[in-house]
Amino acid sequence: MINEEIERKFLVSNTEFLKEYQGVQLIQGYLTTDPCRTVRVRIQENGGYLTIKGPSTDDGLKRLEWEKEISISEAEALLELCLPMPIHKIRYKIPIGTHFFEVDLFQKENAGLIIAEIELNSELDEFDAPEWLGEEVTGNNKYYNSYISKNPFSTW
């Protein structure tokens, strides 16, 4: 099923709040990072996922997204075909008000980078901003995972 993803991204100013939550290890690689059709493979806990994302709007808020669950063995095989430098991160799902923030602590070449994302129902959707939310980076290509996979945070 193809969905319209509406998402805002923020840097995270501190991580003290994460002590209360359990994170999940993710590994993701890219078959293509073409901005018109990004194709990602992800392994998360006991599942594999193949995701295709279309181009973002000019403000970076919206894009089409298609995701399909695949077996771990399929995801592992596809990761072998991916571009170099897969992304490793720990993801935390944090409930705030009526929404959830997904907070990613990047690892390996991207250690030190922490990004929070919130998916919204519309571009005008309002949400409670927790005190640990830092600068908004929505629409800044430098903070897209597909960019980070080619330009690790450690080289910035």
Average pLDDT, the chain: 95
Active site residue 30: yes
Give the pair of three-digit tokens for residue 60: 């970076």
Cα–Cα separations (whole angstroms), residue 89 to 109, 111, 124, 131: 10, 9, 29, 22
Amino acid sitting at position 65: E
From the list 21, 30, 144, 147, the catalytic residue is 30
Contact 61, 87 (CB under 8 A): no
**Which tens digits make up the pLDDT trace of 60-103?**
899 999 999 999 999 999 999 999 999 999 999 999 999 999 99
Quickly state the pLDDT bin for 1 (edges 50, 70, 90): low
